[in-house]
Chain A
Amino acid sequence: MMKNLKQKMVALAGDQAVAFAAKQSDVDVVAAYPITPQTIIVEQFSEYVANGEVETEFICTESEHSAMAASIAASATGARAFTASASAGLALMHEMLFVASGCRVPVVMAIANRALSAPLNIHGDHSDSMAQRDSGWIQMYAENSQEAYDSIIQAFKIAENSNVLLPVMVGLDGFTLSHTLENVETFSDETVKEYVGIRKIANVLTHEGKLAPFRLDPKNPMTMGPIALQNYYFEFKRQQEEAMSNALMVIQNVNKEYGEISGRKYGNGLIDEYYLKDAEIAVICIGSTAGTMKTIVDQLRNEGIKAGLLRIRTFRPFPSEDIRTALSNVKAIAVMDKSMSFGGNGGPTFHEIRNALYDSNPRPFIVNYIYGLGGRDTSPTQLRTIYSDLQQILTKQTIDQPIKYLGLRD
């Protein structure tokens, strides 16, 4: 086993870090379409192609829908496929996302998270990928560019694991991460290539009664993506759920083994805990907001306030048990959502957390903060009010307002 391998510090914007990781992961096919704030990824990758730095077929498709279709088909042919998108592009892919997970192709996709129209808005929030949370894709969200780099490399290991075989999307906050330069520790091309390895393809039984690698191969004809009716469709959906549940363990293992070669771990791979052990109040958030939140927790701790933070790194499969355990001593929780579920009584993360903590005894107070939509800036001062609200809830032992809009002009 490789241990603490040599790395090099490079200044990279999140998008560049993603493109660099994809390049190093020796992807065979990239099929993509430009969209802000993801564009730097495809531009950067095009440069690798133009300069002969990668052995990759790059397909500049005429739409995101075709980008995903081509990625699925390339992956079904046995190639390692990568793509990237955001916002409207991801929405256009919606149909194909379900096809990808249903066909069990390990496509990896980076999402530079951005608001959805209308009104048109190019800035960061989580509306795009949250709207795809039930598409059967594994969803991971990065806190910074370093994690975006690391997560893309890990994503191939997770997606291609024979117990998983599911597509993975890695979210990075539009502009906040996608366009901001950060120092990123990077491996050599050889190290990543060796770590990720050549895609291994599991065998399946074909209609000719042969066990053959699960791909389109004239030597072993196989029918992929058929029609399955009332008698079988349900069974395939149950298989996908099993794969998701297997992914919980695989993501943790990959996080651990990657930690050994890089010296970097993201919590247990599923959730990232910050001062939760003895916390009485805690905030749950996703993505780059966690960076600011950690500074606030530090301040609060200095003031003697038992505050903590839980960052959800893996949203699908949703790590309910890990979250329950991590929050077992917390008495009041604020869930932050950078997207809305209109008419749904709170944002998507709020729903998940309330669901996960329903069985906790005693059950903590849980409130929801919708924030940052369309790239609306949320200041540290505003974020700090969340903790003071939680303290008030504990004092009063009641929730006045379960869902609040942080930074909205009321």
Chain B
Amino acid sequence: MTSKNKNWKEIAPAGVCSKSSKSFLTGDWKTYTPIRDVKKCVRCLTCVIFCPDGAINWVPDKKDIEFDMSYCKGCGICANECPTKAITMKLE
């Protein structure tokens, strides 16, 4: 595997990071997937605020929230905190 990585002459010194973790997808960690009931959702953004993984975003153009499953680790905080119980966790 290490052969794919850059050699010591190619990388910046001192371990200055070269990639944003946005390109490291953690979505495949999950066992449970959040499912949102759009009718129950009041767009209060509680889930956006509490998500530890930045996997739920407010999209101003759509005036709606959007789940980014490529980061969601399926912790279920969103479902637990949703004041209208609009989110349920489903076993993958």
Contact = CB atoms under 8 A, between A and B. Distances in A.
A104 B14 contact: yes
Interface string B1-44: 11001111001111111111000000000000000000000000
A214 B14 contact: yes
Dominant secondary structure of chain B at its interface with chain A:
loop
Interface of B: 1-2, 5-8, 11-20
A270 to B, nearest CB: 23
- Interface residue tally on A, bucketed by range: 20 to 34
Nearest to A205: B12
A30 to B, nearest CB: 23
Contacts of A206: 16-18
Nearest to A101: B14
Contacts of B6: 235
A260 B76 CA distance: 70
A388 to B, nearest CB: 49
6 contacts: A104-B13, A208-B20, A214-B16, A222-B16, A231-B5, A232-B5
A235 B13 CA distance: 9
Given A238-B8, A239-B8, A232 B15 contact: yes
Contacts of B7: 235
Q: Kindly name the residue among B6, B8, B15, B17 whose own CB sees the greatest number of chain A CB atoms within 10 A.
A: B15
Contacts of B19: 207
B15 A236 contact: yes
Interface in A102-134: 102-104
Contacts of B20: 207-208
A236 B16 contact: no
A319 B72 CA distance: 54
Interface string A14-37: 000000000000000000000000
Given A206-B17, A214-B13, A224-B16, 13 more contacts: A165-B14, A206-B16, A206-B18, A207-B19, A214-B14, A214-B16, A222-B16, A222-B17, A224-B14, A232-B11, A235-B11, A236-B15, A243-B13
Contact of B1 (A204, A208, A231, A243): A231
Contact of A204 (B2, B5, B12): B12
B33 to A, nearest CB: 29
Contacts of A224: 14-16
Given A231-B5, A235-B7, A103 B14 contact: yes
A225 B8 contact: no
A143 B64 CA distance: 73
Contacts of A223: 16-17
A228 interface: yes
Nearest to B17: A223
A232 B13 CA distance: 11
